[in-house]
Structure 1
Amino acid sequence: MVYHHLYAKYAKQSHVRAGVIGAGAYGTAIVTQDPHTPLLTVVAVADISLDAARGAYLKAGFEPSMIAYADTVEAAQREIEAGKRVYTDNPLIVPDLPSVDIVCESTGIPEASAVYALRAIENRKHVAMITKDCDVTVGPILKKLAREAGVVYTPVDGDQHGLFIQMFEWAKSVGLTVISGGKATDGEFIYDDATGVARIVTDKPIHAPYQASIEIAPEDRTYLQMIPEGRAEEYVARRAAILGRLPQPGSYDLCEMTIAANYTGLTPAVDTLIHAPLRITEIPVAYCEQSHGGLFDRAGKIDLATCLRAPDESGLGGGVFLVVRCDNAYSNHVLTTKGQIGNYDNTAAVIYRPYHLCGVETSTSILMAGLLGIDTGSDDYLPRYDLVKIAARDIQAGETFGNDHSPQLVARIVPARPIAPGNLACSHLLVGNRASVNIPAGTLITYDMVEEPAGSQLWSLRRRQDEIFLTPEQSPVTRKLEEA
């Protein structure tokens, strides 16, 4: 990495002052890295829970005498100028603070996130967007508005989609052809061949009907061995059935891949994603073109993988991966014979990053924005796809829609469409709002099935995005297909 050289030679200011809104696990990690990160100071932390906001600074090792509560811009600015860090339960003061250069939006609440991000942009503050629920809904319009205001709107290193976007851009910059790519789910399937038991390692709670471990029937165990040449489709299908009782990827996983698709132009093979359980060595075997033994009809796909491994094997660590090739024969020989893992005919190799450090590594995106005025995403950020929802059970009129962690709904990825009756509703325009009709299980949720909230900034921004990027009949995806 050459970040230190870039900061030393091209920085537009000497230091970056950040304000964090949302002191959950991610936002807190940004704060706890503050004392160890050169050139960065987190001057304010906001959360509706004062204990969470104050606790972020205490976890970072700040003495209580060095932090102060404030609930107005004027009071907060005085404390910061006196050398203290401010915590507050009034998030709206953060984007208004003169001493804040960049707002790190990590509430996880799409409506609130839209309000704070827009306020920051209007006040000529950079925005590091951590709330993927907002980004997947109105990210393209926020980025456009930020560019017009002369500030940066950026995804972040630490989030898997942010790391994936950077890896994708790197691959393009060195002339690699990207066949496919995506992220690893946080949970990994550990299969012990000696006992025939498969289990999941995850930090998330496990709910029925899923189980933490299962015993594999003797006749099924062969399908958990290395995929033989030419049998990727068969093995992936059998594994989906065999391992289906272990916890599966959630809507939040598809949400991140929707953002990545909108940044990169990569396309999902199916609306649910394949999300196959794969060994690292099997990724280039399965996630390449059908003409080379893989699953995809053509190159340029995005998907998920759940790492399948033995207890003593390394995993993907919730990281990101690309399946690539070189279009020059000599270059491709170098690619596939210098330690990279190839497929059977060496027409593809996997490159992977087996970790994502969440807020611990987000400072690179914050500093790139604050010091250099550069975002760590792709330039071509368009609303190509929407995350939409299907009712997982009957939903009654008046019932409130849940978020991506709710078992009430399951997700799909579809070409984006504007807000209009009959069009599939962008999933995070549903969150916290009520169903306007009874919705049977298995129904795709459309805009005429949800009560639009009065005065919603999120809905307003989405309509502005629709007007600029979408027509009633077309999305960027359908236009591209018709032009081809």
Structure 2
Amino acid sequence: MLGLKRRLSALAKEGGQIRVGLIGAGQMGRGLISQIEAMVGMRVVVTADIFPENAKNAYLKARVAAAQIKETNDLDEADKQIAAGCVVVTSNAMMVTRLQNVDVIVDATGIPNIGAQIAWDAIMNKKHIVMLNVEADVTVGPLLKEMADAADVVYTGSAGDEPGVIMELYDFADALGFEVVALGKGKNNPLNHQANPDTAKAEAQAKGSSPKMLASFQDGTKTMVEMTAVANATGFVPDIPGMHGPAATVNELPAMMTTKENGGILNRTKIVEFVNGIAPGVFAIITSSMEEVHHEMKYLKMGDGPNYILYRPYHLTSLETPLSVARAFLDKEPSIAPYYGMVAETVAVAKKPLQAGEALDTIGGFTAYGRIVTAEDKQKMNALPIGLIGPNIRLTRSVAQGEVITYDDVEFTETNMILQLRQLMDLKAK
């Protein structure tokens, strides 16, 4: 964003600031608080976490004076403390969306149902909402975006998250008139569909992360979800269910990411993909119909063509989220959103043989992993979106390991917010 520091400085000189309400003080939330404390014209004025001590520690690590950190679950008291220049910690997540002294909400919970509730409440209270919760976005994002547009607020994914970084490359290339052939990301670890919190426990302990979260990366769900978000933002689709997932270097990708008749691996162009060997980077494969453009690209050492790669070797996750906060507040624009509605979906696949009467658990658990498919294929299969899985879903019949779990295979023992929103979205689509 050109001139962002100058614009935020001008806002601060006028006595203003972008007041951020954060929900979730885990690893992502802690990094966000510290990053924003190093900025001008913006502050995380309230943080909610089921364990308020996590939020307090996040502020202390960001060098906020202990005397300036106030804990309360009272709405009026929280607004009063923020107005006085303090920051607030609370265990009441929904209070954050109702505070007058908050402009932008950031969901850093990573839990689909909670994220859907937060986004709904934020939009109903006329707050911009930044989602560090791609799982919720790929389940009900199109409906939330429609609601936000009607409320004249911004619904957006986050800069720094891989979908947001890919979108930056796409917007750059698309604006310049390049033809974008493929969009993708590297995968950090070998694909293991049977990964679960037990198999991931030792590595998670060594890294200081959650075993369930690590398992959601290892089993491929996180990658599938992220590329589903890119698909719904750009109109691109997976070339095959689950994508190809080849191993390649950056230099090998331009020739690989082309159609089979041209020596590549693809059945079509305008696809989303993941690649082993280039993590943590993201890429866009581009080409042009203009002879002079090819000449210039070769001169610029971008390769021999006809395909070229735009590659960013890093993404800074929540440390870049302030860019999305500022863009939403200052420009009323999202970093990434499901502009095309549901073009692709991530559906639930059985990790092991599942028996009738068995309840599903959550993403990164023992029962299911995610696989990206086209929305058309999802409809044909009547497949269950991965963002809906949880203990409120019980199998009505057995499902073999590796089979897609369908709505016909399950019953919902109780409803929740994300299920209600998904049912509403599906009704609107009929």
TM-score (norm. length: structure 2): 0.88
Kept in 2, the 8 Å contact 1:103–1:127? The answer is: yes
From 38, 47, 61, give the equivalent of 1:45. Answer: 47
TM-superposed deviation, 1:10: 11
State the match for 1:173 in structure 2: 175
From 298, 321, 325, give the equivalent of 1:362. Answer: 321
From 237, 253, 271, give the equivalent of 1:267. Answer: 237
Q: Distance in 2 between matches of 1:263 and 1:326?
A: 22
From 9, 32, 35, give the equivalent of 2:34. Answer: 32
Letter matched to residue 101 of structure 1: D
Q: Distance in 2 between matches of 1:21 and 1:277?
A: 37
State the match for 1:480 in structure 2: none
Q: Residue 345 of structure 2 aligns to a residue in which SS?
A: strand
Where in structure 2 are the equivalents of 1:98-109 lying within 5 Å?
98-109=100-111
Q: Distance in 1 between matches of 2:326 and 2:65?
A: 25
Gap change, CA 1:381 and 1:64, over 3 Å in 2: farther
State the match for 2:112 in structure 1: 110
State the match for 1:2 in structure 2: 2
Q: Residue 330 of structure 1 aligns to a residue in which SS?
A: helix
State the match for 2:72 in structure 1: 70
State the match for 1:289 in structure 2: 259
Kept in 1, the 8 Å contact 2:105–2:129? The answer is: yes
Of 378-387 and 26-35, deviating more is: 378-387
Is it true that 1:447 corresponds to 2:417 in the alignment? no
Q: Distance in 2 between matches of 1:421 and 1:184?
A: 29
Q: Residue 281 of structure 1 aligns to a residue in which SS?
A: coil
RMSD, matched Cα: 2.9
From 93, 96, 112, give the equivalent of 1:91. Answer: 93
Aligned residues: 410
TM-superposed deviation, 1:249: 5.8
Q: Residue 276 of structure 1 aligns to a residue in which SS?
A: coil
Q: Residue 30 of structure 1 aligns to a residue in which SS?
A: helix
TM-score (norm. length: structure 1): 0.78
Kept in 1, the 8 Å contact 2:68–2:86? The answer is: yes
Kept in 1, the 8 Å contact 2:105–2:127? The answer is: yes
Deviation sequence 1:42-94 (CA, Å, 0-9, x none)? 00111112222212111211121110101121121121122110111110110
TM-superposed deviation, 1:440: 3.0
Kept in 2, the 8 Å contact 1:389–1:409? The answer is: yes
Deviation sequence 1:7-42 (CA, Å, 0-9, x none)? 379989942110110111112211111221222110
Gap change, CA 1:420 and 1:256, over 3 Å in 2: closer
Letter matched to residue 260 of structure 1: V
Where in structure 2 are the equivalents of 1:298-447 lying within 5 Å?
298-307=268-277, 316-342=278-304, 346-377=305-336, 380-416=339-375, 423-442=382-401, 443-447=403-407
Letter matched to residue 340 of structure 2: Y
Kept in 1, the 8 Å contact 2:369–2:386? The answer is: no
Deviation sequence 1:286-330 (CA, Å, 0-9, x none)? 1122233111122211100111xxxxxxxx451210111121011
TM-superposed deviation, 1:407: 4.2
TM-superposed deviation, 1:386: 1.4
Of 376-385 and 316-325, deviating more is: 376-385
For structure 2, which runs of at least 5 residues remain unmatched after alignment? Answer: 204-216
Deviation sequence 1:444-465 (CA, Å, 0-9, x none)? 2111333325342111111222
TM-superposed deviation, 1:95: 0.1
Kept in 1, the 8 Å contact 2:21–2:104? The answer is: yes
Letter matched to residue 253 of structure 1: T
Letter matched to residue 282 of structure 2: V
From 408, 416, 421, give the equivalent of 1:456. Answer: 416
Q: Distance in 1 between matches of 2:165 and 2:171?
A: 10
| Rg larger for | 1
State the match for 1:216 in structure 2: none
Kept in 2, the 8 Å contact 1:18–1:41? The answer is: yes
State the match for 1:235 in structure 2: none
Of 285-294 and 378-387, deviating more is: 378-387
Is it true that 1:278 corresponds to 2:237 in the alignment? no
State the match for 1:474 in structure 2: none
Percent identity, please. Answer: 30
State the match for 1:22 in structure 2: 24
Letter matched to residue 106 of structure 1: A
Kept in 2, the 8 Å contact 1:179–1:289? The answer is: no
Kept in 2, the 8 Å contact 1:397–1:439? The answer is: yes
Gap change, CA 1:328 and 1:10, over 3 Å in 2: farther
Gap change, CA 1:188 and 1:110, over 3 Å in 2: closer
Q: Distance in 2 between matches of 1:421 and 1:171?
A: 33
